[in-house]
Structure 1
């Protein structure tokens, strides 16, 4: 059984990894606190502009050789890296749970999924190429050639840092790019350890750098002249700033931003099963801290009461607690500031009368940044509770009367990241999936996010793709060659 003490023993002694070694920070000191008990476990300096400059310089130096590496050699190395991640999955997961409070079992699953992303893109590394264009046979030979973009600035959030890193690093490396990764200043250690493990497994120095810094480090990274592309996952206001920085230098940018996804439960499914799974997905999973989680629940009026009973029953069985304890089903939110913010949202919704409080809502006594799973029923779809991303364990439930209303409600926010629907009618499943303004739709289950499938948002949820062949192409540029014969 892995414990918090085991995780602390694994802690890197720095918040950055540059070249082939951990690197001390030059910015402000930060006290790192375990969110389950409020106790500190490290105090280290964050990365500053000097570390960003050094990591970009190391990446630029490494890129020519990495780009020139034989595709088969890059393939074999990435397969080896996938194996390394699997071998050290519990170690990396323990650091994730220490940093941000995710139950260890879920953290392990996330790290194992990260290994799958590396293995998937290893398989693409020796299959990247252009096409012959049928322009004018016998008089013209027209073809395309693809090449890596160069040095990628990748910025990830704290709510699952190892899998978040894999979504960007694996395809970028497979395509022949180098990466400077900036994790959140709240959770830098698991990605620093990841970079060290990959270096020990043969990844050349400078190909992957990690700079665990705050907003100043992020601003320096996205504005750096040595960066050729940006891939960002995070909130909308920060995403807008990144987009502006990319636009100033005409850089390509993948932006995976916020969400307020809806789960639509029709009247032809088992309301007990659908309600239970909707509660787990929208409230319990990662304590509601996920951009693609369905934090709105839309239920056909004829099934409404039964689904609410199932939701309340599922939430009532949740075991809040120590992320390292075997029986814990839901951990804390990332820190005390997040807990205070989420409770503020709950209190404001109660004061405004956005909906009826069904379960939860009160503060959890004791140490740690715990927020009880909270469900509001009869939520006004125009209210802030139904419109704004909370990033916490708060579910907003609303009834609908027909399919058209369900689709209108689901599409009735500025976001368009994911959609979920529950129905036994195959025709309806395809029809509603096509009508949802979302880049990802899950039918009768949870979001799988397999590495072979594309994932990305519409509207205010961003643009660009992670996953699949589309995600690989984000890290490539195309050149056309037109030869007169």
Structure 2
């Protein structure tokens, strides 16, 4: 009997979607279908592949309202946030076409009858493992460039958001994508491991936790011929350095820490304050935190944030908060459950300056840890006191201080006076350390989806040996 996979609405606890989980046999079947589809898809013209991508884009826009409603129900994020995700799914097509041309397009030049050419070829069958926080946008950001380059894809979404993945797959199917070019295998981590370890897989594109990413890295240790792109999270620092406009700065901090209920990999996890600013900054910050509306995805007025993904996540965050308090952390705003049996949490702020050894973990939710420091050297040291290196931010300061921050901080995404949750789709996205393996996503996802082939070409052979031949 097949295992049944069920998705629940975080905001209500109701069943949203139920379907059959794949098995190892199902992964084998999807891989076989993908391998069979690859030669024809890879040999189609780029223009034809672009047509299919634009047809998908049109389907997403046509079904945008239903898509956003489903994402909001399945993730718990407010409807306005889910609508932004659907917009990003559609926009990714145009961005990927531009990136494909700039990063992996064809380049030729001729001189003295010799043509030098740079072209790119697809890897073959690529696996995509997607996360739950952006169940459409983040895997789509890897699926689109992979298909555009001529690869075929087997996609395993998060077991917490299977309905959103199924909806997106239907948009691809109804856009006229050939059978086998994109397959979806639903299931838990066992199915993801089976996909990642499949002998016929040519590469894997992953977005998720550092723990899973490290496990995948070990799994691929004996397969250097397979591409592996890891986009993982971070214990991200945000330095707030001066107080010219406390309210504006506090809003930047709050959005950085609590947008999407703190379930963005770029969210600020650690706020670093100079001692001279701490009191006034905390007052301004608390004033904004206390105004945040936490509610259902479809409430009116719309909430700033909804629940976290499930009770397991909520309980883990609550345990982490209590552990910090138990080790000397001073609660400024408590991480409190707001509805019995449902994963609604209040945004939390805790001063961990006196905690001797706060664990270097990504707390994936609305939990912001505050550290007070005496000077900017200490602020930079605190910012870099992590094995991660995804995002970092500076609020305040002048151009010289920002340049000092930019040069000194270790991260792949660095913002100044802007929320850390903001990242340009026209730029690479990824980090260093435990946050990635130097294969950034977003605009640079094209790099992981094709490999370069350099050629020297002439219409006819000419004698190349100029020295060392006997008469």
Q: What's the TM-score, normalizing by structure 1?
A: 0.88
Distance apart, 1:213 and its partner CA:
0.8
Alignment of 1:67-466 (within 5 A): 67-124=42-99, 128-131=104-107, 138=112, 142-250=116-224, 251-267=226-242, 269-282=244-257, 284-327=258-301, 328-353=303-328, 355-380=329-354, 383-384=357-358, 387-446=360-419, 447-463=421-437, 464-466=439-441
Is the 8 Å Cα contact of residues 324 and 352 (structure 2) preserved in structure 1?
Answer: no
Gaps of 5+ in 1: 1-25
SS at 2:343's partner residue? coil
Is the 8 Å Cα contact of residues 242 and 397 (structure 2) preserved in structure 1?
Answer: no
Supply the distance in 2 between the matched residues of 1:429 and 1:338 (Cα, whole angstroms).
35
* RMSD between superposed Cα atoms in Å: 2.2
Gaps of 5+ in 2: 463-471
Supply the distance in 1 between the matched residues of 2:337 and 2:344 (Cα, whole angstroms).
8
Supply the distance in 2 between the matched residues of 1:363 and 1:146 (Cα, whole angstroms).
52
Distance 1:27 1:219, change over 3 A: farther
Is the 8 Å Cα contact of residues 78 and 119 (structure 1) preserved in structure 2?
Answer: no
Supply the distance in 1 between the matched residues of 2:35 and 2:95 (Cα, whole angstroms).
26
Supply the distance in 1 between the matched residues of 2:405 and 2:122 (Cα, whole angstroms).
38
Distance apart, 1:105 and its partner CA:
1.0
Deviation readout 1:49-98 (Å, 9 max, x if unpaired): 22222222222222112111111222233223223222222212222222
| Pair 1:471 & 2:445 matched | yes
Supply the distance in 2 between the matched residues of 1:52 and 1:195 (Cα, whole angstroms).
16
Deviation readout 1:140-188 (Å, 9 max, x if unpaired): 7554331011111110111111111122111111211111111111111
Distance apart, 1:37 and its partner CA:
2.1
Distance 1:378 1:49, change over 3 A: closer
Report how many residues are paired. Answer: 454
Of residues 152-161 and 170-179 in structure 1, the stretch that sits farther from structure 2 once superposed is 170-179
Distance apart, 1:451 and its partner CA:
2.2
Is the 8 Å Cα contact of residues 124 and 174 (structure 1) preserved in structure 2?
Answer: no
Q: What's the TM-score, normalizing by structure 2?
A: 0.91
Of residues 115-124 and 64-73 in structure 1, the stretch that sits farther from structure 2 once superposed is 115-124
